């Protein structure tokens, strides 16, 4: 069995980037989530394909980013990005995305409502963006822009 076949059989989207943030592999499920062509994406920097991609952050910090809510058109999905390391050196990243529908089924099993889970993930994404851009007004403004929300919405969600 080949790894490629295994990755293509998953319902979750899988994206693998090298240490420069260039796309090495994208399965069809990831392509369907993001509207990208896997062959056209190969070799291109993920930041060229997706504004606000968190891959560079994971490459720099070596720390995973989990439970990020992403939107493409009318579709929302959860994304988690993990560093790929060899001998304690970050060599790239692997991103896993799953639909809110799939996530909802898992959530029902744990008795947490989807709304509660979405709010928790929104807070986590907001905290990460504010940490990345800075806690001052300008940093929060940049974080809000990156997240596609107004500055007022960012402040309100930070209070929740």
One domain, residues 93 and 147: no
Domains: count for the chain: 2
Contact status, residue 99 vs residue 74, Cβ threshold 8 Å: no
| Cα distance between residue 4 and residue 27, in whole Å | 8
CATH number, domain containing residue 76: 3.30.450.20
Range of the domain at 28: 3-99
- Looking at 76, 99, 122, which one is the last position of a domain? 99
Give pLDDT tens digits along the chain (160 positions).
566 666 676 678 899 999 999 999 999 888 887 888 999 999 999 999 887 889 999 999 999 998 877 776 666 778 899 999 999 899 999 999 887 665 555 555 566 667 777 888 888 888 888 888 898 999 999 988 888 889 898 888 888 7
Q: Same structural domain for residues 73 and 146?
A: no
Residue 107 lies in a domain: no
Kind of pairing between the strands at 13-18 and 75-86: unpaired
């Amino acid at each position: 069995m080949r790894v490629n076949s295994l990755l293509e059989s998953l319902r979750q989207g899988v994206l693998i980037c090298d240490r420069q943030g260039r796309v090495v592999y994208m399965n069809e499920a990831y392509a369907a989530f993001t509207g990208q062509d896997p062959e056209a994406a190969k070799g291109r920097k993920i930041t060229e394909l997706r504004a606000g991609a968190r891959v560079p952050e994971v490459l720099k910090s070596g720390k995973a980013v989990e439970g990020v809510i992403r939107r493409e058109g009318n579709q929302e999905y959860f994304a988690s990005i993990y560093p790929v390391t060899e001998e304690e050196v970050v060599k790239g990243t692997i991103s896993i995305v799953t639909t809110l529908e799939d996530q909802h089924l898992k959530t029902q099993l744990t008795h947490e409502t989807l709304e509660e889970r979405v709010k928790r993930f929104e807070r986590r994404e907001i905290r990460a963006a504010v940490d990345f851009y800075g806690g001052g007004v300008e940093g929060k403004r940049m974080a809000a822009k990156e997240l596609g929300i107004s500055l007022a919405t960012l402040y309100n969600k930070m209070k929740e």
